[in-house]
């Protein structure tokens, strides 16, 4: 049996946390030969609820669960962490402007970035789920100067999965027939799901649908799926978000399949003309625990305009929290 790794989950007492922790402990994220010690971090008022989650984790008797730490102290939460899933975030309250939301979250993610810097493994792999995910990832990364910026990523896998299913349904196929999907940009309404490079049974997806459906139906459906779920369910997508987080970390740690790729919000190296240093979603392949941005993906004028609009939004978000970026 391998040595256990430490996996920190913030917001562990929340909705996504509840859908996520049991799957991590079951081996779905890191493989069924990798024991884990879970570090559950939440805020002080959530500590009772967190004890309930711990009891349920214990009651599952997961063979791979080698320990559970519950805490409201980020220094304890990130101590020696090998992986961190930053899920906990401040939701938008009534009358809260986007700017207020950015600020409130920037405060949380700068504290957590510092705690990661001071306590975690230098090889930690960080996934930010809490919104605004890309900019929260940027803030955490900039507050952790002793750790490679490549180790901070943001989640667009849920958007990626949503896009795969929409094109599968439209073409009468299943997700098993869909490959090479890309979400470009920000995890927000400006994200760009790309059908010009996606394939369905080996055929270019955009050739199988008309432009009116692509622009008027597919893109808005993927972009606004989160809002549609809140409207229908009266609560935000938690199970599918947790599933996407499992998929993101699993691909990163254990590798992507063959020639296929996944979408990950990663530190831009200037690929595709995207400003260096933004956390931007690109097509990525992973091997041996490292991701790389897939090069040479075709970008037509339509795609370019959408990719730049999302880049612009990310640059504005970054500038809005400039004072919190060391
Ligand atoms: P929730 O409100 O059920 O849970 C959030 C948890 O975070 C709560 O337990 C809260 O106490 C905790 N928390 C707040 N501040 C914290 C801090 N400073 N440190 C540690 N814990 C803290 O929310 P839910 O549904 O679990 O969603 C969490 C986040 O994930 C939200 O920001 C949501 O917008 C985002 N999300 C992101 C998606 C993506 O695709 N990137 C998809 C769906 C949700």
Best of 41, 45, 88 to mutate for ligand 1, by most ligand atoms within 8 A of CB?
Answer: 88
Q: Model confidence over 152-164: pLDDT tens digits?
A: 999 999 999 999 9
Residues 52 and 275 sit within 8 Å (Cβ to Cβ) = no
Residues whose beta carbon lies within 6 Å of some atom of ligand 1: 10-11, 13-17, 41-43, 46, 87-91, 108, 129-131, 133, 155, 158, 187, 236-238, 241
Task: Find the distance separating the first CA and the last CA of the chain, reported in whole Å.
Answer: 41
CA gap 204, 178 in Å, rounded: 10
Given this model, what pLDDT does residue 90 score?
87
Given this model, what pLDDT does residue 279 score?
98
CA gap 164, 179 in Å, rounded: 8
Which of 116-120, 264-268, 285-289, 318-322 bottoms out in mean pLDDT, i.e. has the lowest? 318-322
> Atom 31 in ligand 1: which residue has the minimum CA distance?
130
83 pLDDT band, cuts 50/70/90, is very high
95 has pLDDT over 80: no
Ligand 1, closest atom to CA 244? 40
Ligand 1, closest atom to CA 77? 20
Query: Is 294 among the annotated ligand-binding positions?
Result: no
Average pLDDT over residues 69-97: 92
Spatial strand order in the sheet of 83-86: 65-71, 36-41, 5-10, 83-86, 125-128, 152-154, 262-267, 279-287, 290-293
Q: Is 55 left (phi over 0), alpha (psi -120 to 50) or beta?
A: alpha
Ligand 1, closest atom to CA 187? 41
264 pLDDT band, cuts 50/70/90, is very high
Please, what is the average pLDDT of the chain? Answer: 96
Given this model, what pLDDT does residue 35 score?
98
**Which of 207, 197, 229 lies closest to 303 in space, CA to CA?**
197
Measure 211 CA to ligand 1 centroid, in angstroms.
36
Rounded to two decimals, the ipTM of the complex is 0.98
What SS3 class is residue 65?
strand
Query: Is 219 among the annotated ligand-binding positions?
Result: no
> Atom 9 in ligand 1: which residue has the minimum CA distance?
14
What percentage of the chain reaches a pLDDT higher than 90?
91
> Atom 10 in ligand 1: which residue has the minimum CA distance?
11
Spatial strand order in the sheet of 178-179: 178-179, 199-200, 203-204
Q: CA 264, 211, 200: angle at the middle one, nearest 5?
A: 55
Residues 160 and 197 sit within 8 Å (Cβ to Cβ) = no
Question: Which residues are the active-site residues?
Answer: 187
Query: Is 54 among the annotated ligand-binding positions?
Result: no
Directed axis angle between helix 98-119 and helix 301-320, to 10°?
80
CA gap 313, 239 in Å, rounded: 28
92 has pLDDT over 80: no
Ligand 1, closest atom to CA 108? 18
CA gap 69, 236 in Å, rounded: 27
Query: Is 17 among the annotated ligand-binding positions?
Result: yes
Q: CA 159, 263, 131: angle at the middle one, nearest 5?
A: 55
> Atom 4 in ligand 1: which residue has the minimum CA distance?
14
Taking only Cα atoms into account, the Rg of the chain, rounded to an integer number of angstroms, comes to 19
């Amino acid at each position: 049996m391998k040595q256990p790794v430490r996996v920190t989950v913030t917001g562990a007492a929340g909705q996504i946390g509840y859908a996520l922790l049991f799957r991590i402990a079951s081996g779905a994220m890191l493989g069924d030969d990798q024991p884990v010690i879970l570090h559950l971090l939440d805020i002080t008022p959530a500590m009772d609820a967190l004890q309930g989650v711990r009891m349920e984790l214990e009651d599952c008797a997961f063979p791979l669960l080698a320990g559970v730490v519950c805490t409201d102290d980020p220094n304890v939460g990130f101590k020696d962490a090998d992986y961190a899933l930053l899920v906990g975030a401040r939701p938008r309250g009534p009358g809260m402007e986007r700017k207020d939301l950015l600020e409130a979250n920037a405060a949380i993610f700068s504290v957590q970035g510092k705690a990661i810097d001071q306590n975690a493994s230098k090889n930690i792999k960080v996934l930010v789920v809490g919104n605004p995910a890309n900019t929260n990832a940027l803030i955490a990364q900039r507050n952790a100067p002793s750790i490679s910026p490549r180790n901070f990523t943001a989640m667009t896998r849920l958007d990626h999965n949503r896009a795969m299913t929409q094109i599968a349904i439209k073409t009468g196929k299943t997700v098993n027939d869909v490959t090479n999907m890309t979400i470009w940009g920000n995890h927000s309404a400006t994200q760009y799901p790309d059908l010009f490079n996606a394939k369905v049974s080996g055929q270019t997806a955009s050739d199988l649908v008309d432009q009116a459906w692509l622009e008027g139906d597919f893109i808005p459906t993927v972009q606004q799926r989160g809002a549609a779920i809140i409207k229908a369910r009266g609560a935000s997508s938690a199970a599918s978000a947790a599933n996407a987080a499992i998929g993101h970390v699993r691909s990163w740690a254990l590798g992507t399949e063959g020639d296929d790729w996944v979408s990950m919000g990663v530190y831009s190296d200037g690929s595709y003309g995207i400003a260096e240093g933004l956390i931007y979603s690109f097509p990525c392949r992973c091997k041996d625990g490292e991701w790389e941005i897939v090069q040479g993906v075709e970008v037509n004028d339509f795609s370019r305009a959408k990719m730049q609009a999302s880049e612009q939004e990310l640059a504005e978000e970054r500038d809005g929290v400039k004072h919190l970026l060391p």
